[in-house]
């Protein structure tokens, strides 16, 4: 047996100092012979076990055994001690009154001058309460994790650097559903664009009340999520934070999916919107058609007015009759002008263009299906709102989609793909409506924006052209509308609208 030599004792201190230190120590200490027979115990030993020194000394340490500690624990303990190594572990002990307690022990062999084991020094303390508290913490942690993971709302805990350090199963499902690495960042950017600086200020993390937002996915329907953020501060667990408090700050993001509720509301809203857009389109077509008629009638009337001037000196009677007819004609033209529907301007409000385009697609769905047109909807996951007129913008993009459908609805045309994309480019929101139709001939590229110009046949169901109105609406919002060729054929209607601008 290879035993370590005993440590050297500092002979400068009297042995009584060591005796008193052991006697007054707050940890239970016992000294036994090599067979575990107790030779000495201190006061702390008596307090923990209930055995007085007179009762304990001369007995074997086994008087403390509860006989429920697994045999393997004792085998490992004696193997280590026999090799001259200290042993550290936990045993379930029994007090004098029969009550049980969990003991944390350190047993070390005390060697003689020849290197053999002369005694065993045992130190132990009652850790029953500490063990109970640790178990309570673990149980509470397990219960909280189960509740959080089973919650129907998604939760993500972000540290002061914006890193997600804890989440639940609902949040993991959100990651898979939205197809983004960190939905928390995307949602926070939508709710508070400068969230890293505004919410995660050093030593002053801020939250916000529930805010509802729409998330559009390239594949799948839109999702409506209600998000709120709650600041949380925790104590510093490091030793150097004991006297100097340096709490850590976190932000808890809670995401509630309210899609089912909003979808029910959206059905009713979409039905009303479809009627409103049809009425608005009809009114706009009436205004354009009547304005075109008046414009075309004004030409002959002006010629007739010139003729009256020439006839007045030669044929006064004929000039008078013609002048009377002109007067009556102008009166009828004025009556016709009064029939033009009023163009009422909407109030300017924040508008999400993803929502506008989704409305347009929903309204156009029946016609898209009828014409066998495949739609590729690629919205930016989140878009900041612009300030605009919602109905006018819907009508504008519907006109662009209608023109794209008309281009591909020609008899015999097979490639019928419509693509709508949105993106954010610096301080502009860009919308592209791409069709794989025959495109627009170069000589008509500018002419299509002229009032009253149309390439549609007389048998079409649409009055007016739509493009001049669309260009005017985009211009009213301080934006730009361009028609561009697509590689491989087709046309792109590209609209750029400013996040902030001057509107008419």
List the pLDDT tens digit at each of the 504 positions of the chain: 455 555 555 557 777 887 888 888 889 999 999 999 999 999 999 999 999 999 999 999 999 988 888 989 999 999 999 988 999 999 999 999 999 999 999 999 998 888 889 999 999 999 999 999 999 989 988 887 888 888 889 999 998 889 999 999 999 988 888 888 889 998 998 888 888 888 887 777 888 999 988 887 766 677 889 999 999 888 777 776 667 767 788 899 999 999 888 878 777 877 787 777 777 777 766 766 777 677 777 777 777 777 777 777 777 777 787 778 778 877 877 777 777 666 667 788 999 999 899 888 988 888 899 889 999 999 988 788 899 988 889 889 988 998 899 888 877 788 899 999 999 988 899 999 999 988 887 777 777 777 656 655 444 333 335 688 888 889 989 999 998 889 888 899 999 999 875 444
Q: Tokens standing for 177?
A: 């559903």
Q: Do 396 and 480 touch, CB atoms closer than 8 A?
A: no
> For residue 2, how many other CB atoms are within 10 A of its CB?
6
Round to whole Å and give the CA distance between 137 and 192: 36
Q: Do 368 and 330 touch, CB atoms closer than 8 A?
A: no
- Is residue 36 classed as helix, strand or coil in its secondary structure? coil
Round to whole Å and give the CA distance between 76 and 89: 10
**Per-residue model confidence (pLDDT) at position 8:** 56
* Cα 44 versus chain centre, distance: 58
Round to whole Å and give the CA distance between 497 and 493: 13
Round to whole Å and give the CA distance between 379 and 221: 11
Among the four given CATH numbers 3.30.565.10, 3.40.50.2000, 3.40.630.40, 3.30.70.100, the one describing domain 347-504 = 3.30.565.10
Q: Tokens standing for 294?
A: 């008046």
Q: Do 258 and 212 touch, CB atoms closer than 8 A?
A: yes
Distant-in-sequence, close-in-space partners of 487: CB < 8 Å, separation ≥ 6: none
Q: Is it true that 15-132 and 151-236+245-257 share their CATH fold?
A: yes
φ, ψ for residue 141 (rounded to 5)? -60, -45
Round to whole Å and give the CA distance between 452 and 293: 10
Round to whole Å and give the CA distance between 379 and 355: 10
**Per-residue model confidence (pLDDT) at position 296:** 73
Does domain 15-132 bear CATH number 3.30.450.20? yes
- Choose among 154, 174, 254, 170: nearest CA to 209: 254
Q: Do 245 and 237 touch, CB atoms closer than 8 A?
A: no
Q: What is the CA radius of gyration of the chain?
A: 44
* Cα 132 versus chain centre, distance: 39
- Is residue 459 classed as helix, strand or coil in its secondary structure? coil
pTM over 0.75: no
**What fold, for 151-236+245-257?**
Beta-Lactamase (3.30.450)
What sign has the CA pseudo-torsion 9, 10, 16, 21?
negative
Q: Domain map of the chain by residue range? A: 15-132, 151-236+245-257, 260-344, 347-504
Q: What b/e readout covers 250-259, taking b as 16+ CB neighbours within 10 angstroms?
A: bbbbbbbbee
Q: Could you write out the DSSP letters of every residue in 468-479?
A: HHHHHHHHHTT-
Q: Tokens standing for 436?
A: 């794989």
Q: Do 310 and 368 touch, CB atoms closer than 8 A?
A: no
Q: Tokens standing for 231?
A: 């600041």
Which residues of 263-385 form beta strands (DSSP E)? 349-351, 374-378
């Amino acid at each position: 047996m290879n035993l370590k030599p005993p440590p050297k004792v500092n002979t400068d201190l009297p042995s009584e100092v060591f005796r008193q230190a052991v006697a007054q120590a707050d940890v239970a200490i016992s000294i036994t012979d090599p067979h575990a027979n107790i030779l000495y115990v201190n006061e702390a030993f008596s307090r923990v076990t209930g055995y007085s020194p007179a009762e304990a000394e001369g007995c074997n340490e086994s008087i403390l055994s509860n006989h429920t500690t697994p045999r393997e624990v004792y085998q490992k303990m004696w193997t280590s001690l026999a090799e001259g190594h200290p042993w550290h572990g936990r045993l379930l002990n029994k007090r004098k009154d029969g009550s049980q307690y969990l003991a944390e022990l350190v047993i070390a062999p005390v060697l003689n001058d020849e290197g053999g084991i002369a005694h065993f020094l045992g130190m132990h303390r009652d850790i029953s309460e500490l063990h109970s508290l640790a178990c309570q913490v673990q149980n509470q942690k397990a219960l909280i994790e189960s509740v959080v993971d089973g919650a129907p709302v998604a939760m993500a805990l972000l540290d002061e650097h914006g890193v997600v350090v804890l989440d639940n199963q609902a949040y993991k499902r959100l990651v898979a559903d939205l197809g983004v690495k960190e939905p928390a960042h995307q949602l926070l950017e939508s709710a508070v664009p400068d969230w890293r600086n505004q919410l995660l200020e050093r030593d002053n993390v801020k939250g916000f009340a529930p805010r509802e937002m729409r998330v559009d996915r390239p594949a799948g329907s839109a999702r409506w999520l209600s998000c709120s953020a709650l600041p949380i501060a925790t104590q510093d667990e490091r030793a150097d934070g004991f006297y100097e408090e340096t709490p850590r700050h976190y932000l808890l993001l809670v995401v509630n999916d309210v899609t089912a509720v909003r979808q029910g509301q959206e059905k009713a809203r979409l039905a009303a919107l479809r009627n409103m857009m049809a009425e608005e389109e009809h009114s706009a077509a009436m205004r354009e058609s009547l304005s075109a008629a008046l414009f075309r009638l004004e030409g002959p009337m002006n010629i007739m007015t010139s003729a009256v001037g020439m006839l007045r000196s030669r044929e006064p009677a004929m000039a008078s009759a013609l002048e009377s007819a002109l007067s009556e004609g102008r009166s009828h033209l004025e009556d016709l002008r009064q029939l033009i529907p009023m163009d009422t301007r909407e109030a300017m409000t924040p508008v999400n263009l993803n929502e506008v385009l989704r409305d347009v697609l929903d309204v156009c769905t029946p016609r898209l299906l009828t014409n066998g047109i495949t739609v590729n909807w690629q919205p930016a996951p989140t878009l900041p709102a612009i300030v605009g007129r919602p109905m006018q913008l819907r009508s504008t993009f519907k006109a662009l989609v209608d023109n794209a459908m008309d281009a591909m609805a020609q008899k015999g045309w097979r490639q019928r793909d419509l693509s709508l994309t949105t993106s954010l480019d610096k301080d502009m929101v860009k919308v592209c409506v791409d069709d794989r139709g025959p495109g627009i001939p170069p000589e008509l590229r500018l002419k299509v924006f002229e009032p009253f110009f149309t390439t549609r046949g007389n048998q079409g169901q649409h009055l007016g052209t739509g493009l001049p109105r669309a260009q005017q609406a985009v211009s009213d919002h301080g934006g730009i509308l361009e028609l561009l060729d697509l590689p491989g054929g087709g046309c792109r209607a590209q609209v750029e609208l400013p996040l902030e601008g001057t509107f008419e």
